[in-house]
A and B are shown apart, each in its own frame.
Chain A
Amino acid sequence: MDRRQALELLRAGPALVTDFPGDAVDIDGLLAHLIGRGFEGGVYLADLEMESLVWVHDGEAQDAWFFDVDGGEAVLAGAGGHDLFREMASNGSTLSVYVGAPPDVAFGQAAGPPSAAPATVFKVPGQGLVRSQPMPAFEPTEGSEVVTAPPVVEPVAPMSDAHPAPAPSAAGEQVATEPVAPVEASTRPWPRTMEGVAERVARHRGQRLAQRFTSTLAAALAPHGGGVDGSRVYAPPISEAAWRVIVETACEPIIAVAGRAFVDRAIAAAERDAAGDGDSGDDR
């Protein structure tokens, strides 16, 4: 899977927010918030000339991916990539946040088969896209890594249109390209667990806090097509990463009052009960 395909796969999944004005968002704050919540997915920017994606994975914001309209792409590692990402956000891009596990693409390295000639792409305010080799105006910061293809050959073929066979490595071995599994629905009994958490919150902290929890849970589930009906929680198949975001969001009112330890114990106890019921599916 190349980066373009990984991006499209991500965008086909659930979104926390879509097409939000990028210049209204504190990118660093958003990334820090998502990281703090254990989020797994990507922050995506798009304007008329370029798309960009920063994966939030394993508790950190990964290198920024850039795609231009002509199919060129670049990975700008470290702070340099994030600088350009921020700059893009503040120049009229729309911002979306998608939930999903990243494909098995090595961050900061050439992942998947490179396109015919991916250029280092960057954007200079007021000048649109600039494709250059080496990068003339955007210098990566120390420690960051700019991944570029060999010298530019114009025109640049779109990534998704070109899938050459994996190049042999220096040792003559084939570079393995691992198949990427699509984002799978969680097998944990989250709806039942959430029902159990609501019941425990009501029993220990009263109905008011339980109501705050269920209403927040319903709001978090709504973009995924789920919701809360009375004491029953229902949801379509949702990935584990998305569930984690939902649970974290829904539990915020409880954490604010009763604390993280209480919530963790409540979830663990509710999950034990839910698993004991023998229903581990969340297709309800």
Chain B
Amino acid sequence: MKRFRVLLIVMGGLVLAAVYAYGAAENSLQGRLARHVLGSTVQIVAPILAGIGCLAARRAYVPGDRERAVWSIGGLAALAWAAGRAVFAFYQWWGGRALPYPSIADGFFVVFYLLLGLALGLEIRLVAPMVDRPVRLALVGLGVVGWALGFEFIVSPIMASPAPATVKVLAAFYPTIAVFLVPAGLLPAVGFRGGTSAYTWMAVAASALCLAVASLGYAFLTWYELYSEVHTINVLWVAGFVFLALGGFWQRTVQEDI
């Protein structure tokens, strides 16, 4: 538990760095450069921490435990995202140009969502029998409503435009899967309600919510060419991975603290 408190401080520091990078009104050249570097760095560090958190949770299990696979896949997912962000930063810092959209980095981002979806799907298979059917249906309904709203107000204009097919597919894919990851994360939280493991999945659901809003915002901002590397929306990516890291480290803590 003491180790977890230390991690909380580290996470808090990461969030503060993100808030400064994406929210500070520092407009001098040096200040802007610092914010840019800091922003790119936390975008890589946060998913790495999330990956470490998930893999730490994995270590609380023995081979054959089904949740071990859940956390292994979750860890790989976060590291895939970190790889995508690293590619992104590499092009900007050393390539001297921003990556086009879509780019090779999007391949890593797609892998992230697919792996995270797989991990949550495996967890749902374990926990679903402990959740009443009306609750399960309500969670599915929540996902459908969230997706419909996002699609109607953000994705549909992109779909109706003459944008390239890959842009349309990605614009639909990111928010869609991210929105449905929210109820997917909430379902285990409901299944374990009353237990300390429920907090793990609440953190995962919070992570998915941040990523979903960030995905919708990203799709919206890139479409209207308002997105920048230091836009405030980026805080949500960092927050999403901080929540995922917290979930992983918390799971490790409670799984061993019996």
Query: Given that A200-B258, A261-B60, A262-B255 are known contacts, is A208 also in contact with B130, CB under 8 Å in the complex?
Result: yes
Contact assessment for A265 and B191 in the assembled complex, using a CB-CB cutoff below 8 Å = no
Q: B195 — which chain A residues lie within 8 A by C-beta? A: 201-207, 209
Cβ-based interface call for A257 (8 A): yes
> Are B196 and A212 within 8 A (Cβ)?
no
Within 8 A of B (CB), among A172-231: 200-209, 212
**Residues of chain B from 25 to 65 with CB closer than 8 A to chain A in the complex:** 60-62, 64-65
Asked if B97 lies at the interface with its beta carbon under 8 angstroms from chain A, I say: no
Chain A contacts of B62 at CB under 8 A? 259-261
Q: Is A167 an interface residue (CB 8 A)?
A: no
| Given contact pairs A259-B65, A261-B61, A206 touches B191 in the complex (Cβ within 8 A) | yes
CB distance from A138 to the nearest CB of B (A): 39
Instruction: Tell me if A256 and B258 are in contact (CB < 8 A).
Output: no
Please tell me if B134 contacts chain A, counting CB pairs below 8 Å. Answer: no
Any chain A CB within 8 A of the CB of B254? yes
Which residues of the other chain, B, contact A208 by a CB distance below 8 angstroms? Answer: 130-131, 191-193
The listed residue with most A CB atoms (<10 A of its CB), out of B192, B196, B256, B258, is: B258
Kindly name the residue among B66, B130, B195, B255 whose own CB sees the greatest number of chain A CB atoms within 10 A.
Answer: B195
> Is B85 at the interface (CB under 8 A from chain A)?
no
State A278–B63 Cα separation when bound (angstroms).
Answer: 35
CA distance A283 to B90 in the complex (A): 69
Interface pair B254/A209, CB less than 8 Å apart: no
A204-B195, A259-B68 known; A212 vs B255 contact (CB < 8 Å): no
| Residues of chain A contacted by B66 (CB below 8 angstroms) | 256-257, 259
Is A207 a contact of B258 with CB atoms below 8 Å?
A: no
B129 (CB) vs chain A CBs: closest residue: A212
Distance A203 CA – B255 CA, assembled complex (angstroms): 11
User: Are B127 and A257 in contact, CB atoms less than 8 angstroms apart?
Assistant: yes
Q: Which of the residues B60, B131, B258 comes within 8 Å of A266, measured between beta carbons?
A: B258
Q: Tell whether A269 is near chain B: CB-to-CB under 8 Å.
A: yes
Interface residues on B, range: 20 to 34
Over the window 178-203 of chain B, the binary record of Cβ atoms lying under 8 Å from chain A Cβ atoms (1 yes, 0 no) is 00000000000001111111100000
Please tell me if the beta carbons of B258 and A265 are within 8 angstroms of each other in the complex: yes
Q: For the complex, what is the distance from the CA of A256 to the CA of B194, rounded to whole Å?
A: 19
CA gap between A262 and B255 in the complex, in Å: 6
Is A258 interfacial (CB-CB < 8 Å)?
A: yes
Residues in B whose Cβ lies below 8 Å from that of A212:
130
A206 to B258, CA, bound (A): 14
Q: B12 to nearest A CB, angstroms?
A: 25
CB-defined interface of A233-264 with B at 8 Å, one 1/0 digit per residue?
00000000000000000000001111111100
Give me the interface of B with A, judged by CB distance under 8 Å: 60-62, 64-68, 126-127, 130-131, 191-198, 254-256, 258
Which 6 A-B residue pairings sit nearest by Cβ, starting from the closest?
A259-B65, A206-B195, A208-B130, A206-B192, A206-B194, A261-B62
Query: Could you list 19 further interchain pairs (A-B, Cβ under 8 angstroms) beyond the known A204-B254, A205-B197, A262-B255?
Result: A200-B258, A201-B195, A204-B195, A204-B196, A205-B192, A206-B130, A206-B195, A206-B197, A206-B198, A207-B195, A209-B192, A255-B65, A256-B66, A259-B68, A261-B62, A262-B60, A262-B258, A265-B258, A266-B258
Q: List 20 A-B contacts (CB under 8 A).
A: A202-B195, A203-B196, A204-B195, A204-B254, A204-B255, A205-B197, A206-B130, A206-B195, A255-B65, A256-B126, A257-B127, A257-B130, A258-B65, A258-B67, A258-B255, A259-B67, A259-B68, A259-B255, A262-B258, A265-B258
